[in-house]
Each structure stands twice: as C-alpha cells, then as structure tokens.
Homo-oligomer: A and B are copies of this chain.
C-alpha cells in the first residue's frame, strides 16, 4: 500500500506512467528516448531502469520479456484500489 504512494511520489516515475498510459508496452530504450524528447528529461538509462524496478515492485507496471526486448505494461488496478480507500472512506487498515 505505501509502496504505491512512494512510487508515485517521484515526478520522473509519474512521467513514466504518463508515457506508458499514452503508449503501452514500450521498452526501456523507447521510454528513455521519448522522455528526453517530449518531456526534456535528462536522466540516464540506469536511472530510468531503477525507476522501473520501483514501479514494478509497487505493482503499477508488469513486464514481458521477448528476446532481447523487455516490454513494460501499465497496470491501473493498484490506482483503482487506492482511490477506493481514500475517497469512499478513509479509515481502512494499513497493510
């Protein structure tokens, strides 16, 4: 639960999610180039890769390997469960 918020706390990670929301199933290099092109990001490949790990551990994305490519797919489910907690009622347990 807290992993999701921590993952969303970083602006670069949010931009990655935005990018995947706009075009799902991108590889690491695709995301890197598109982030630097469109959003003016200057982060290195390794930086983005580590952000991906955080997002995956939070369950916000899942990956699919194919040859030397690794495709990243967005999973909106955690966001939905998140909204359920904080908008219907705020007094759930904290797992």
Contact = CB atoms under 8 A, between A and B. Distances in A.
B21 A89 contact: yes
A89 to B, nearest CB: 7
Interface string A57-95: 000000000000000001010011011001101111010
A80 B87 contact: yes
Contacts of A91: 18, 21-22
Nearest to A89: B21
A92 B17 CA distance: 11
Interface of A: 2, 5-6, 8-11, 14-15, 17-18, 21-22, 74, 76, 79-80, 82-83, 86-87, 89-92, 94
